[in-house]
Chains A and B, each alone.
Chain A
Amino acid sequence: MSFAPFAVAAWLFVVGLWGVVSSANLVRTVLCLTVVQSSTYLILLGVGYRSAGRAPIVADIPVVSRLVDPTVQVLVLTDIVIEATVTALLLALVVQGHKRFGSVDPADFTTLKD
């Protein structure tokens, strides 16, 4: 039970990578990249957890209660917002690629070869 979050994160990483490698549609590639990023969030949050710890908000609980680590939560929350905009950038690239080549299949992007 105590290893489960890390196992899920490793699985998500490999499955997301498999999606990136095997997809025939660039939009699906970008979304599988999102899955890979989610695995990193799981790892970070899993490392920072203290058993029986509460959220690090002391507005209504005493300061001396057992709290989880707030540092990794900061990293994850900024990362989620950044991930959304980076995904937007990748999708903008896909849109321009589609306009240029007429399809979103990476196998059809052939200019560099010929």
Chain B
Amino acid sequence: MSRPARLALFALAGPGLLAVLLVGFAGLPAFGDYHGVYGLVVDGVELGERHATDMVTALNFDLRAFDTLGEEYLLFASVVGVVVLLRALRDEREEDTEHDTGASSQHVFEGASDALRASSLVLVPMLIALGVYLVIHGALTPGGGFQGGVVLAAGPIALLVAGRYLAMKRFAPQWALEALEALGAGGYALLGVGGLVFAGDYLKNFLPLGIPGHLLSAGLMPLNSIAVGLEVTGAFLLVWSEFLDQALLVRRAAES
């Protein structure tokens, strides 16, 4: 459909859609007037049943763990799609980063001042420590596998900002990222099998629940959180590496 036709159709339909949405939303309970029951039940019951002080993570990795399995594999499938789409095509050749000492070893982030490079280098261990903290303390304080995984993935990216793309590739090589992601995705599914074997239901919490507020509490939740954290870290770093490879390393055979 041509662009003017698209715009004309939207000019007709858009205000109608907005009106329908506003009228529909006006039928919702007023903001702040919560009518649901499930949230109230979880708030009251969860601490006694699962000994986790963070209810969001308890829902994510225990009470609704099967949904998280689906979401995790959504992520996995998207990353597989990105890797397949951005593979080196038949008429392209990816620069060999191991032996080529020419221009590719000079992939320095131009325009980065020395202050940026120094502070990024300091950020790398801090980001990794913060990411690990968020992942492990998912069941106790706001955090969990998804949030901590993204912070963990930002660590090696700080290496890129610090100036050397190839240093980042050596710190986080492709095979390690793929292994990390597969370990996370498969690990979560296998932890569920543990629930099946020891407690009778897939993904049911079967480890000792411990004292609420302590690190080793809430049974299976820290392990699930670690599995998801590994997967999200691997997924994000893999996606970013693929895009950076496209921009910095992949060349057409005709040009080389």
Contact = CB atoms under 8 A, between A and B. Distances in A.
Interface size class of B (residues with CB under 8 A): 35 or more
Contacts of A14: 14, 17-18, 21
Given A70-B39, A84-B236, A88-B78, A49 B17 contact: no
Interface residues of A, number: 57
Contacts of A22: 3, 6-7, 10
B147 interface: yes
Interface string B1-15: 011001100100010
Given A6-B31, A88-B82, A71 B10 contact: no
Given A17-B10, A67-B39, 16 more contacts: A3-B25, A10-B18, A49-B34, A55-B142, A57-B55, A58-B55, A59-B141, A69-B40, A70-B43, A79-B71, A89-B78, A89-B82, A91-B243, A92-B81, A99-B89, A107-B2
Interface of B: 2-3, 6-7, 10, 14, 17-18, 21-22, 25-26, 28-34, 36, 38-40, 42-44, 47, 53-56, 58-60, 64, 67-68, 71, 74-75, 78-79, 81-82, 85-86, 89, 140-142, 144, 146-147, 149-150, 213, 232, 235-236, 239, 242-243, 246
Interface of A: 1-7, 9-11, 13-14, 17-18, 21-22, 24, 43, 46-53, 55-59, 63, 67-74, 77-79, 81-82, 84-86, 88-89, 91-93, 95-96, 99, 107
